[in-house]
Each structure stands twice: as C-alpha cells, then as structure tokens.
Chains A and B, each alone.
Chain A
Amino acid sequence: MSSSTRPTTKEVAAPPLAPDRLEVSTTRRAPSGRRLTSWATPWLFLLPYLVLFGTFVVAPIVYGFWISLHDYDYTLPGKPWVGLRNYTNLFDSDSITAGPFWDGMQATAIFTVFSVPLLLIVPLAVAIVMNQRFRGRNLFRAVYFAPYVLGVAVIGVLWRFLLDRNIGIVNHYMGVVGLPDDIPWLTSVPEAWVALVGVTVWWTLGFNAVIYLAGLQDIPAELYEAAKVDGANAWQRFRNVTLPGLRPVTSFVTMVTIIASVNMFGQSYLMTLGQPGTETRTVIYTITETGLRNFRMGDAAAMSYVLTLFLMVLSLAVFWLFREKKAA
C-alpha cells in the first residue's frame, strides 16, 4: 500500500548546500549525483505518516477551534462568525447549551470520581498477588485481562442483558443469596452509577494490573531483601519499597485512567442510554449528540475545547501531585 513512496530510488535534486552528515564518504558515491543520502531522504520516509498526521490530527486541532468561533450548523447554508459566543453561552445559564453541557460534565465527574480510585487500588492489589511465583499464574493473568480485549460495544450489550431488572442474572443471583432481586440497575440513579462503575472496573482492571505488574517486576529484589534484613514487616516493605518503586508507573496509570474515565461514552450509550432522563449522559455523549446528531457543530466544538482545558488542568494537577511527592 504505502510502498509507492520509495524514498531513495527517487532522483532528488539536492541543493548544493545540502548537508550529507550521516554518510561515511568512503563508500560508493556515484558521480551522477545519485547520492546515498540527501537532505530529502528522512522527509521521504516521514512523508506518508506526516500526510495522515497533518490531515487528521494537526489540522483538526486548529480547524476545530475555527468551527467553535462560528454558528456552525452542518445542515444550514450560512455559518456566521460569532466570535466567542459559543463559549460564553456555555457559562450563561439562559442559553440552550449550558444546561446539557454542565449536566454532562457532572455525569462525567461522578463517574470519574468513583471509578478512578477503584481502578488504581484494585488492580494494584491484583498485581501484587500476581507478582509471586505460583502454578497457573499466566492463566490467571490472561483471565483477568480477557475482558479488556473486548470492545465497549460487546461489554455494553452484554451487561445491559445481565443487569436487566426482570430477567437479568445479576438480580437473579442476588435474590438467590437473599439480597433484593429487583434493583433497577439501568434505569435509576444511584444504581446506574454503581452498574456503570462496576462494569468498567471489571472491563479494564486487567489493563491496569498488567502495567502495575510490569512495574513491580522492575523493582530490584535486593531492595526487598535489604528491607527484610532491616526488620521491615510486609506493610513497611509495601510503603517504603513497593510504592516508591512504582511511582512512575502509578503516575502513568493514574493519568491514563483519568483520561479514559473522562472519555467515557460507550457504557452509557449502550447500557443506560443516558437514562434516567439524561442523568447518566456523559459530557462526551453530550458533545457527540450536539455535534453529530443535531449538527450544532460550533456549540459542540466549543464544548470539546472547554473539556480539553479541564483535562489539561487535571493532568497538570496529577503531574504536580506526583512530582511533589518525589521531592519530599
């Protein structure tokens, strides 16, 4: 497919000043001007990637901001310039966009606040148990990781079935063990939040655990030996060897988990359909429905930039949090 670009076979008219730094000049250097390397060689290698990268990553970042400055309705011919009005509308409780946007932000915040701590602690516990040698370790690791290789679409339709109020097996088995068996997992809050958070933990726990496990395996065994010699008990070894040794990995996992939680969409789209009302409609869901169903793209683009700003502040806070501890 992309082999149409074969960099060095193309005749490149190199300008006289082109630096030929890389090549060992004792090797073949054809007099015809067909050089082994020219200034263009690295760029020809980069070209296919940069075309895609420029068109679908860099350009959209700028273009999206441009859209957000217009009353950009896909279905209408005119797209008048409105300056920052799409943004100020988001902070004006009388506008039609502020309500849905902040409801979405609130739904996302609830989901993030409850899912992130669980997804930091439970996988760490699993990784610590897995970080010892025992029979069948790889099998267990694979089993815990398995849900993660499935897409959110499978997860969503599967759990909508399992959590069905009347015929779902979750309520059935809760009844069997004497718990309430008619919990409206998908149609009422806070039950729906328990369902969305629980399913997400089940789905992505393995991913975080595998990253923790790799981090644990990088902590030198001598540190544990030395701590043992110094008389540290298991908890002290965890506090003073494991946690500091895991710091870079923990900061990465924290970041990735926060970003994934803030981007939550499929679970609520498929399991709760945003219900009850629009209570579990996350902000991403609001943005895509505003922009790609109702085609109010200016509003949606403005929302996505405000959300990005929030995410950046949150990321900086996480960076700062982990850096601060390092200095201590």
Chain B
Amino acid sequence: MATVVDTRPAPQEAAPAGRRRKGGKLALRYVVLIVLAVLFISPLIFMLVTSFKTRQEATAVPPTWIPETPTLQAYRDILDAEGTPVLRWFVNSMIAAACNAALVVATAAMAAYPLARMEFRFKKVVFGLIIATLFVPPVILIIPNYLIVGNLQWLDTLLAVIIPTAASAFGVFFLRQFFLSLPNELEEAAVLDGANKWQIFVRVVLPLSRPALVTLALLAFLTNWNDFLWPVYVLFSPETQTLPPGLSTLQSANNVRYDLIMAGAVIASAPVLALFVFAQRFVIEGVSRSGLKG
C-alpha cells in the first residue's frame, strides 16, 4: 500500500534549530499513522479481494491477497439466487434509503422553518418535546412500533422501513440551527415583494440551505441504508428484504461460502463507500457538527 513516507517537515514546523529532531518526530508520526491506516483498511481490502476468488481459494490457508484465478462467479451466483436475491435487496435498499432520506429532509425542513422563523403559541413546548425524544432510547419504540406497523398492514413491506424512522428529531434540530444562522434580509425583501410564507420557504430559505439539506439527506440515507435491527424483524420474505437483513440471511444460508458472503458484503458497502468518497466533506462535517450540540 502506501509506502512512500514523506519525512519533510511541514513548512510552519521547520524551525531552523530543531530541524532534524522535528524531522524524526514527523517520520515517527507517519509510521504510526500508516501502520494504523493499514490496520484500518486491510479488512475491507480483504473483503473485496475474497469476493473475486473461487469457492476453494476463499477459504484457503494461507490466505491470498491477489486472487490466483480472479472470477466474478460469486457475484453471478448470488445476484439472482433463490432465497437470497441480492440484486433485489440492492434495489429495495436503494428505494428505501432514497425515500426515507427525502421524507426526512422534507418533513424536518418544513418543521424547522416555523420553529426558527415564526412566533406562535406552544412553539417552545413543541420544540422541547422534539428535542426531548433525542434522549429516548430507541429500544422502547421497537415493540409498540411493531404492533403499530402491523395494524397498518405494513409488516414485510418497504413502507415499514421507510415511514416510521422518517420523523427525525436530529433533523429538525440541525436544520433549525441552520435556518437561524441565515440572514433575515432576503426573507424581508421577499415579503416586500408580496411573497407568502410558503413561497419564502421554497424560493428563499431552501435554496440558501442547500449544504445543510444535502448533509442531512446524506446522513439519513446512510442511516437507513445501514439499519439492521428493525429490518431484521419487520422484513421476513426474501423478496422484501433490504441488504443488511439480507446479509444475515445470506450468512445463514451459505455457512462457509465466504466467497458468496463477501460478494454480498461488497454490494452492501460499495454505494455508501462511494458516497463517502465523493461527499466526504458533507458527511464528516455533518457528524462533527452533531457533536457540537453537546
């Protein structure tokens, strides 16, 4: 992997006197960071490599890091398999995560706007109640929500993983903070132009909030895509599952066929890793900002 160690001191650390000592320190830091990075990334690389191996090579000892006979057979075997239709799960996951993210952003933005910009009775009560639920452990919602979703006839349908998690208290909090930070002038100008509240919201506030909306959408997509516990229990037919409970099904259906299981894991990882690579700034900043509320 990355073997090039840059020992040149960064400009602002290049004090003429302690140059060598600093250089040594910097080299040490790179050694530590690179060893750690290899430890962090190699399991993921091994997952990818294994998915291109044959059935025998996947469990061979000693392990190989470059497939001797690279093959796509594992992917061919699982994409349309009976009982473990991975392609179907992929589509289900995409639909669920995209719809859930859209719903989270739409409802949270609409709720956050009056909480940031209007005065009305019970505003503090409503906001306080929403924030209070941030501290409610999700475990107490599982049993009653199973029954509520059952009464709605949503069990074993994608609606069960799209709708119940769409009311994001964090989303309301996050977007309200962002709306409060926007300058008032543009909205006032829009009022003078005769715009009503809805028009101001759609034409002024939302376009100005694009970075916050994108961040929230990404976080909601990631959360829904990765959600495991709830879908394990509410999606039971092979055709209705999403990828996370699907991987569990795949694992129990193919006990030691690690070529197949790793191919499934790669399919479940690829979209979120790609999203992370392309939108790293939004994801990391969204997460680190969530910490600053403390």
Contact = CB atoms under 8 A, between A and B. Distances in A.
Interface of A: 1-3, 5-9, 21-24, 27-28, 36-37, 39, 41-43, 45-46, 48-50, 52-53, 55-61, 63-64, 67, 74, 126, 129, 133-136, 138, 140-147, 149-154, 156-162, 166-167, 169, 172, 202, 207, 210-211, 213-215, 218, 248-249, 251-253, 255-256, 259, 262-263, 265-266, 269-270, 284, 287-288, 291-293, 297, 300-301, 304-305, 307-308, 311, 315
Contact of B118 (A3, A41, A160, A263): A41
Contacts of B250: 157
B148 A56 contact: yes
B254 to A, nearest CB: 10
A70 B273 CA distance: 45
A140 B126 CA distance: 42
Contacts of B192: 27
B288 A37 contact: no
B28 to A, nearest CB: 11
B251 A270 contact: yes
Contacts of A39: 120-121
A67 B244 CA distance: 29
B148 A304 contact: no
Contacts of A21: 119
B107 A49 contact: yes
A172 B40 CA distance: 18
Contact of B61 (A45, A52, A167, A252): A167
Contact of B276 (A37, A146, A202, A215): A146
B180 interface: no
Given A210-B287, A297-B143, A151 B273 contact: no
Given A153-B248, A292-B142, A8 B196 contact: yes
A63 B147 contact: yes
B32 interface: yes
B130 A157 contact: no
A237 to B, nearest CB: 16
Interface in B246-276: 247-248, 250-251, 256, 258, 261-262, 264-265, 268-269, 272-273, 275-276
Interface string B283-294: 110011111111
Given A49-B110, A67-B147, A211 B287 contact: yes
B209 interface: no
A255 B229 contact: no
Contact of B191 (A27, A59, A270): A27
A206 B199 CA distance: 41
Contact of A9 (B30, B46, B198): B198
A146 B141 contact: no
11 contacts: A1-B99, A36-B196, A45-B110, A56-B141, A57-B141, A74-B147, A135-B10, A145-B276, A158-B47, A249-B294, A297-B146
Contacts of B17: none
B17 to A, nearest CB: 16
A74 B148 CA distance: 12
Given A42-B123, A52-B107, A140-B33, 5 more contacts: A36-B197, A42-B114, A150-B226, A202-B40, A304-B143
A145 B13 CA distance: 26
Interface of chain B: mostly helix, strand, loop or mixed: helix
A27 B190 CA distance: 11
Contacts of A311: 137
B16 interface: no
B173 interface: no
Interface residues of B, number: 113
A157 B197 contact: no
Contacts of A169: 46, 63
Contacts of B33: 129, 140
A140 B275 CA distance: 17
A49 B111 contact: yes
Contact of A45 (B201, B272, B275): B201
Contacts of A42: 114-115, 118, 120, 123
B243 interface: yes
B219 to A, nearest CB: 10
Contacts of B102: 1
Contact of B142 (A7, A154, A251, A288): A288
A288 B251 contact: no
B62 interface: yes
Nearest to B277: A142
A59 B141 CA distance: 9
A8 B256 CA distance: 60
Contact of A57 (B26, B29, B136, B262): B136
Interface string B125-156: 01001100101111111111111100000000
Given A147-B40, A149-B272, A60 B145 contact: yes
A259 B103 CA distance: 26
Contacts of B244: 151-154
B3 interface: no
Contact of B167 (A8, A56, A64): A56
Interface in B4-25: 6, 8, 10, 12-13
Contacts of B275: 149
A266 B229 contact: yes
A53 B130 contact: yes
Contacts of A157: 247-248, 250-251, 261-262, 264-265
B106 interface: yes
Contacts of B123: 42
A158 to B, nearest CB: 5
Nearest to A144: B40
B77 to A, nearest CB: 16
Given A167-B61, A172-B62, A143 B41 contact: yes
